[in-house]
Amino acid sequence: MLDDFLNAARPTIYQAILSEALGQHIPQLNEPGWLPLGSGSGIDTLTGLNRREINDQVSYYNHTDPVMHHLIHLENSYIFSRGASVKAKDPDLDAWIQRFWKHPRNRASLATAAAQHELNTELQIEGELFFIFYTSTLTGQVTVRTLSPSQIAKVIPAKGDNKLPQYFLADFIGPENRVERYPLLDYRVADTRKALSHPEFAGDHTEVAVMHIMRDSVSGRGISTKRTSLRWIKALTGFMEDRAVLTLAASTFAFKQKIKGNRQAVELAQQRWANYATQLKYDKGENERRQGGNTFIENEASNLEQMKFDTAASNAYQDMRMFRQMAGMGAGVSEHYMGDPSTGNLATATAMELPMLKQYEFGQQFWGDVFGEIFGFVILQGIRYGTLGGKAQVSLDPSGSYPMYTVEPLRGIDLTVEAIFPPIVQKDVAVQANALAQIATAEATTGQQILPPEKKAEIAINLFGGDKDSGTMIEDMKAHNFALPIAPQPPTEPPLQNVHEANLGEPLPKSEAEAVAKITQAEVKQAFEDWSTMPTLDELLAELGVDEEALDA
């Protein structure tokens, strides 16, 4: 294996020696206008693309230009939003993954929303990412960091298979700011001889591996996904700068005054205007702003006219839209997402065009696959050095370009680990919530389970923006068999002791209980006589000593 590495590294060494010799003896090749086309130049001989120059320009415009910055962070917001979380089906496996995910070292580089936005920003600018894994051979804990693409001098693929990298030549800054180059293995390579997985800078009890992912590539290295927008963003920026110059030039003079007279008359008018402008300066004395509504007095020898401010802005706006649409097209972004709300409506504010939706769905799936590879490596190291030895069996597959570790789960063990992403658009919330309600209704009606409770809880927690650590919440609900919490009842008094039923006697027969005596004619006549002899209201008030006015009050 070491011989293979040396055979692959020798061309790089010879190329460095040859380049130095050419630089000394043929200096004209290093002059402007000449482009070196060697394998280390970053220039693709077929397309003529200078990968390093393009990526550097995209990075520059991301930091200085609002359009490029907006395009990059718009994709971050739709793909990651509040950030992705992780959940494994097996409880022990989930505990191991959550330990890796929540470790302070990994939160800074992988698990938080800020870290995920930063990773996707670098992926869009560079077109590639290099993850470096540090595994403790004492505990199996994996720490994740990223290497700058500029640190990777060369990617050495396996013999006969350019899709599978085998080694990476990585540069690190050593003592006295000296660059030290180390060969690092791909994370899929099984270093059976322990020759390259333990570099000097890592220590005795640490394994090192590198994972290379690419979104867009040229000649085996990443190139920015925003490269097709770059030239149009440059054109748009230049156009807007020119428009700013024209607008400022048009507002340089607000009025013009014609004076019939000699040179002294013109100079006198100029002096009076200067004194007038000085008196009405902003924030002078008690004046917080210029005084408006003044009266200008002139005679027939003077004529003051207002300058015209027509800069053809309406036509320029249409020209600007063409540049902006081309810049957005390179990133797959519709115009109303480019900072102009006049081109949108309510539908565009609550939904998304299908091409953009599919593009961001691909972005989430891309990162889901990347996280899946990372979690697979974490599980492998947990089996080899950690506490997952009873969950799966690790074997060595010597076939193919290089030996690889394979993981076979034991019977009844599910090694599935899923990355959970937030909904891309808010309309998805209502759609998915309605789908969950229909599933619950169908399960209650048919008595059959359509989705496992863990999956329904996972969707609901992520859907309604609950705690990002959905794994812990699901485990708590699973411990209570996903039962709904019982509402607290008000406190009641304890029952009385030695309570006996009261003796109420024998109940009356129904005929006696419902019997009602008939009203006689004499009783009716007596009732009318009593009603006719009742005192009037005035008599009652007089008897009580109260008048009507006091009663109303």
- The predicted pLDDT at position 176 comes to 77
Mean pLDDT of 275-302: 67
- The predicted pLDDT at position 546 comes to 74
In this structure, of 12-16, 314-318, 335-339, 411-415, the range with the lowest mean pLDDT score is 12-16
In this structure, of 74-78, 128-132, 263-267, the range with the lowest mean pLDDT score is 263-267
Residue 9 has pLDDT above 60, yes or no: no
Highest-confidence segment of 17-21, 23-27, 384-388: 384-388
Question: Which residues, including other chains, have CB under 8 Å from residue 417's CB and lie 6 or more apart?
Answer: 86, 87, 88, 93, 97, 372, 375, 376, 379
Give the residue with greater pLDDT, 346 vs 157: 157
In this structure, of 236-250, 357-371, 434-448, the range with the lowest mean pLDDT score is 434-448
> Can you tell me which residue has the tokens 């989430």?
364
Q: Tell me the two tokens of residue 309.
A: 């401010």
| Distance (Å, whole) CA 172 – CA 145 | 14
In this structure, of 157-166, 369-378, 420-429, the range with the lowest mean pLDDT score is 420-429
Mean pLDDT of 514-539: 79
Interior angle at CA 80, CA 440 and CA 420, nearest 5: 35
Mean pLDDT of 282-286: 59
Mean pLDDT of 303-307: 80
In this structure, of 39-43, 101-105, 116-120, 483-487, the range with the lowest mean pLDDT score is 39-43
Residue pair 392/96 in contact by the 8 Å Cβ criterion: no
Residue pair 87/455 in contact by the 8 Å Cβ criterion: no
Q: Tell me the two tokens of residue 313.
A: 């802005």
Residue 466 has pLDDT above 60, yes or no: no
Mean pLDDT of 404-412: 90
Q: Is the pTM of this model over 0.75?
A: no
Strands across the sheet with 152-158, in order? 152-158, 161-173, 179-185
Highest-confidence segment of 151-160, 189-198, 234-243, 370-379: 370-379
Give the residue with greater pLDDT, 5 vs 442: 442
Residue 469 has pLDDT above 60, yes or no: no
pLDDT-derived band at 467 (thresholds 50, 70, 90) equals: very low
- The predicted pLDDT at position 491 comes to 60
Q: Tell me the two tokens of residue 223.
A: 């190139």
